[in-house]
Amino acid sequence: MSATPADQDRAGTRTRAAVGVVGELLLTAGVVLCLFVVYALFGTGVATSQAQDALDRELEALDRLEVGGDTTAEGAAEAQAGAAYARMRIPRLGEGWEWVVVQGVEVADLQRGPGHYLASADPGEIGNFAVAGHRATYGEPFAHLDRVRVGDAILVDYQGAEYRYLVTESFLTTPGNGDVVAPVPGDPTARPTEALITLTTCHPRFSGRERLIIHGVLEGQVD
Amino acid sequence: MYAWIWRHLPGPTPLRLVVALLLVAAVAALLLTVVFPWAVPLLPGQDVSVE
């Protein structure tokens, strides 16, 4: 039994239609992927920038409380995860490089700005003040952290005081090396005697293979 | 597929065009507000903390 020309025609039409649908789906997927790349690289930064504006207002409200000598200000600043925490400036990364650090290093916290490891010390305190931040996407606060050199300043405003740290070390490590944010980096059981700062981000940029770590030590404080 | 959708849109050509654009806008809004925000944290390079 052989197919008639009419049968072959119908089969050919169906094949062409199926190929057409697959082609349209592939084209659509291509367009959606391009949109996604643009969203990931730039769109995520829009939400982060809005969050930073809100966090900035939050900090200003806290500052006003402190200026007014309100004793509850201390308690109010004991911020919850996701809340505004401190301001950070790194002159090496540009005059305009200023970020509000949020409490916490969970996914949602870091989408709003650099995040303070909850268990780590506060700025100026003996121990290790540790902050994580995105290297790409979500405003990429730590995009160019690799440009920071030993001796560079990291300035932190916290509860009415400005703390000035100087970078002592910059290196790469594995994602599992949590000891870098210990009170004494590299020695989780030791008692801290110095006020340190640690910044962590991913390395290489756009990859989660390693972590870029910056250590610094407190040089001075301006009240 | 798109030809099939176009044939099933109601009304004359100008109205179909408006409906088609609305459909595109609706899909784009869904992608930008739901799908993409969900998908970005799954990209590599999103883990910036140490454990």
Give yes or no for B46 touching A (CB within 8 A): yes
Q: What are phi and psi of A159, to 5 degrees?
A: 50, 50
Q: Is the per-residue pLDDT at A78 higher than 70? A: no
Cβ pairs A/B, distance under 8 A: 77
> Looking at per-residue confidence, does A115 or A9 come out higher?
A115
Q: Would the pLDDT of A108 be above 60? A: yes
List CB contacts of A149: < 8 A, sequence separation 6 or more.
Answer: A92, A167, A170
Interface contact A32-B31, CB threshold 8 A: yes
Subunit contact B45:A43, Cβ cutoff 8 A: no
Facing residue for A24 by CB, picked from B2, B36, B47: B2
Q: Which CATH number applies to A42-222?
A: 2.40.260.10
The answer to whether residue B42 neighbours chain A at the CB level (below 8 Å) is: no
The string of pLDDT tens digits covering residues A132-147 is 999 999 999 999 999 9
Classified as helix, coil or strand, A204 is coil
Contact check, Cβ <8 Å, A132/B51: no
The CA distance from A177 to A169, in Å, is: 16
Domains of chain A by residue range: 42-222
- The pLDDT of residue A11: 85
Q: Which residues of A touch B (CB under 8 A)?
A: 20-21, 24-25, 32, 35-36, 39-40, 43-44, 105, 107, 110, 115, 117, 132-137, 142, 173, 175-178, 180-181, 200-202, 205-208, 211, 213
The answer to whether residue A73 scores a pLDDT higher than 80 is no
Mean pLDDT taken over chain A:
91
Q: Least CB-CB distance to B45: which of A20, A133, A206?
A: A206
pLDDT 10s digits, A156-188: 999 999 999 999 999 999 999 999 999 999 999
Note the pTM of the prediction, 2 decimals: 0.86
Percent of chain A whose predicted confidence (pLDDT) is above 90: 80
Q: Which residues contact A168 (CB under 8 A, 6 or more apart)?
A: A150, A215, A216, A217
Q: pLDDT digits over A39-69, tens only?
A: 999 999 999 999 999 999 999 998 887 766 5
> How confident is the model at residue A76, as a pLDDT?
46
Q: With an 8 Å Cβ cutoff, are B46 and A200 in contact? A: no
Question: Distance between CA atoms of A196 and A129, rounded to whole angstroms?
Answer: 6
pLDDT at residue A77 above 70?
no
Residue A110 to residue B41, Cβ atoms within 8 A: no
Mean pLDDT of B1-29: 93
Mean pLDDT of B3-20: 93
Q: Residues of chain A with pLDDT > 70: what percent? A: 93
- Cα A10 to Cα A41: distance, rounded to the nearest angstrom: 47
Q: What angle do CA A70, A73, A77 make, to 5 degrees?
A: 170
Pair of tokens at residue A13 = 């039409």
Whose structure tokens read 């920038």? A49
Specify the pLDDT at position A79.
57
Q: Which chain A residues are Cβ-neighbours of B43 within 8 angstroms?
A: 40, 137, 206
Contact B49 A132 (CB under 8 A): yes
**pLDDT band at residue A1 under the 50/70/90 scheme:** low
Q: What is the pLDDT of residues A191-221, one digit of tens each?
A: 999 999 999 999 999 998 999 999 999 999 9
Residues 5-24 of B with CB under 8 A from A: none
- The interface pTM score, or ipTM, of the predicted complex is 0.90
Of A9-23, A93-107, A165-179, B15-29, the least confident = A9-23
At A196, which helix (H) or strand (E)? Answer: strand A195-203
- For residues A149 and A169, give the distance between their C-alpha atoms in angstroms, rounded to a whole number: 8
